[in-house]
Amino acid sequence: MVWEERFYAEPKDIFSIRLTCRKCQASSTIPLGDREYIPETCSYCHEGWFTKGSTDHKYLTWLLQSLIGLRRRDTDALCNIHFELPGHLNMPNGT
């Protein structure tokens, strides 16, 4: 028998987006609410992360702005929103 865990997060549970530079391996964390745009370059080595106006940059900026908006949802909303995240497999010994 195998059990698989799943985790569910509400928009208010997500508090940042993290980017890691492929060149220098430095990470930048963009807290939700501090700004509504994604930097195009690494703040450490200044390597470009995105081509100016690229689809990746647009989608990531849209994701950031959407998460900020979802965190500010009206408490009278008629449904709850959750994001499903994979957990890990638990395999008991001997089965």
For residue range 9-42, what is the model confidence (pLDDT) as tens digits?
Answer: 998 899 899 999 999 999 999 888 867 788 889 9
pLDDT at 33: 81
Q: Distance between CA 42 and CA 30 in Å, rounded?
A: 12
CA neighbours closer than 13 Å in the CB half-sphere of residue 15: 1
Q: What angle do CA 58, 18, 45 make, to 5 degrees?
A: 85
pLDDT at 37: 80
pTM for the model stands at: 0.73
